[in-house]
Amino acid sequence: MREKRSYIFLVLLMNGLIISAQPALNTNTLPVRKLNSALFFQEEQMISMDLSTDLKKLTSEKKLETYQPATVTCRFPDSSVISEPIRLTARGEFRRTECYVPSIKLDFKSAASPKLSPLSKLKLVVGCGVRADDEKLLLKEFLIYKMYNILTEKSFRVRLLHINYTDTRKKIRSYSQYGFLIEDVDKMAKRNKCSEVEKQVFKSEMTDREQMTLVAIFQYMIGNTDWSVPNYHNIKLMRPVTDSISFPYTVPYDFDFAGLVDAHYAIPYENLPITSVRQRLYRGYPRTLQEVQRTLDIFREKREAINKLVMSFELLHIRQRKDMISYLDEFYETIKSTGLVKRTFIDDARTN
């Protein structure tokens, strides 16, 4: 009888050892996808990402643009999983100075990460801090990118992530937060049969007139004055690959200073005649009334789609979604009146 009990105990012990020895995640037994960098930003479903790196170093040395090792595990909606080592670095002039957590650039392209390499280098937008309010601001900015996608293909696509952060040195407690990746500028330009224009000085009126009008009015709609064409500030330029002398198209990005986001750290530039980012100020140049109305027709046509985008985005509380719609409604009330359109986009437009 004693031998039988000993045998049962030994079997249970062995089974326990076998169970405890199993790894938490064996990616070799899970479906693995081949990444297509173009399709990656066409898909709408959120990706779950585990990001493991020296978070203490990233936050304490955020002003240094030096790469450090990291490991990412991406869990895709179709249950496929990719886990590979990559590099990352802090980015963003303002965020590296003012935010606890800087924005990040992920470098997927290396021999050590063959499955993720097609993504090359991508900007990762994260919260300025780790609080719920920081996450709320990030999600609002994500929606602004999606709004601009509705208006034009000449725009950066984005992909939403839910990120679990782990500090490899265990100096910072693990935490989770939403974030999003921004499409690479070269891939965005290629998608539009264009190539990026760099290191050439262009004034706003030296860019494609129709597209520049769309950009300027969009920035007014969202309450954003934090952009400049000549300085390439939150603006990228591109032109058709078949026309090397045409006026380039303007493509805006980085909208966290917009009144629609209403970030606690966002304040207008001192030389502007506004005291809050919630106050709209048109920063475009004058156009004819016909040109302005033709562009505004795009906004009118897409109003329902923009409203649906915001109101169906359940990651934001309904109160926050309604606040965004209310802010957008103010813009749409303005463009109902020909007199207000003329005053805002022509009479009060900038001249220098």
**Domain containing 74: what range?**
27-185
- Helix, strand, coil: what percent of the chain each, to 5? 40, 20, 40
DSSP strands (E only) in the chain: 47-53, 68-75, 81-91, 103-107, 121-125, 158-167, 175-182, 194-197, 235-240, 249-252
Residue at 274 is within a domain: yes
Structurally, the chain folds into a number of domains equal to 2
Residues 174-207 have pLDDT tens digits of 999 999 999 999 999 999 999 999 989 999 999 9
CA distances to 119, 278, 287 from 254, in Å: 20, 17, 25
String of DSSP letters for 199-231: S----GGGS-HHHHHHHHHHHHHHT----BTTT
Q: Which of 185, 213, 229 is the last residue of a domain?
A: 185
Cα distance between residue 59 and residue 56, in whole Å: 5
Cα distance between residue 146 and residue 159, in whole Å: 10
Residues 237-257 have pLDDT tens digits of 999 999 989 999 999 999 999
Cα distance between residue 29 and residue 52, in whole Å: 22
Statement to judge: residues 225 and 278 lie in one domain? yes
Cross-strand bridge partners of residue 303: none
Statement to judge: residues 292 and 204 lie in one domain? yes
Residues 64-113 have pLDDT tens digits of 879 999 999 999 999 999 999 999 999 988 888 888 888 899 999 999 99
Evaluated on CA atoms 137, 66, 119, 115, the torsion sign reads: negative
Closest C-alpha among 161, 179, 175, 136 to residue 55? 175
Statement to judge: residues 164 and 291 lie in one domain? no
Residue at 11 is within a domain: no
Residue 2 has which token pair? 């004693």
Could you tell me if 258 and 277 are in contact, meaning their C-beta atoms sit under 8 angstroms apart?
A: yes
Cα distance between residue 300 and residue 339, in whole Å: 17
Residue 258 has which token pair? 């917009």
CA dihedral 255, 257, 260, 261 (to 10 degrees): 90
Residue at 282 is within a domain: yes
Q: Could you identify the residue written with the tokens 């089974």?
A: 15
Cβ-count burial of 255 within 10 angstroms (0-12 exposed, 13-18 middle, 19+ buried)?
Answer: buried
For the cut 90, the answer to whether the pLDDT of residue 283 exceeds it is yes
When pLDDT is cut at 50, 70 and 90, the band that residue 37 belongs to is confident
For the cut 50, the answer to whether the pLDDT of residue 262 exceeds it is yes
Statement to judge: residues 100 and 201 lie in one domain? no
Closest C-alpha among 162, 145, 195, 163 to residue 41? 145
User: Of 5-14, 103-112, 126-135, 306-315, which range is least confident?
Assistant: 5-14
Statement to judge: residues 55 and 124 lie in one domain? yes
**Amino acid 150: pLDDT:** 98
Residues 134-154 have pLDDT tens digits of 999 999 999 999 999 999 999
Residue % of the chain over a pLDDT of 90:
80
Helix (H) or strand (E) holding 54: none
**Amino acid 146: pLDDT:** 98
pLDDT (average), residues 306-331:
98
Statement to judge: residues 200 and 166 lie in one domain? no
Q: Which of 156, 185, 214 is the last residue of a domain?
A: 185
For the cut 50, the answer to whether the pLDDT of residue 170 exceeds it is yes
Cβ-count burial of 217 within 10 angstroms (0-12 exposed, 13-18 middle, 19+ buried)?
Answer: buried
**Amino acid 33: pLDDT:** 57
Statement to judge: residues 33 and 159 lie in one domain? yes
Put the strands of the sheet holding 249-252 in their side by side order. Answer: 194-197, 235-240, 249-252
**Amino acid 95: pLDDT:** 81
Closest C-alpha among 157, 99, 153 to residue 123? 157
Residue at 79 is within a domain: yes
Residue 218 has which token pair? 């969009």
Residue at 250 is within a domain: yes
Statement to judge: residues 237 and 127 lie in one domain? no
Across all residues in the chain, what is the average pLDDT? 90
Statement to judge: residues 157 and 219 lie in one domain? no
Name the pTM for this structure.
0.90
For the cut 60, the answer to whether the pLDDT of residue 51 exceeds it is yes
Statement to judge: residues 61 and 115 lie in one domain? yes
User: Of 18-32, 178-192, 269-283, which range is least confident?
Assistant: 18-32
Q: Which of 140, 166, 185 is the last residue of a domain?
A: 185
Residue 309 has which token pair? 């985008």
Cross-strand bridge partners of residue 228: 233
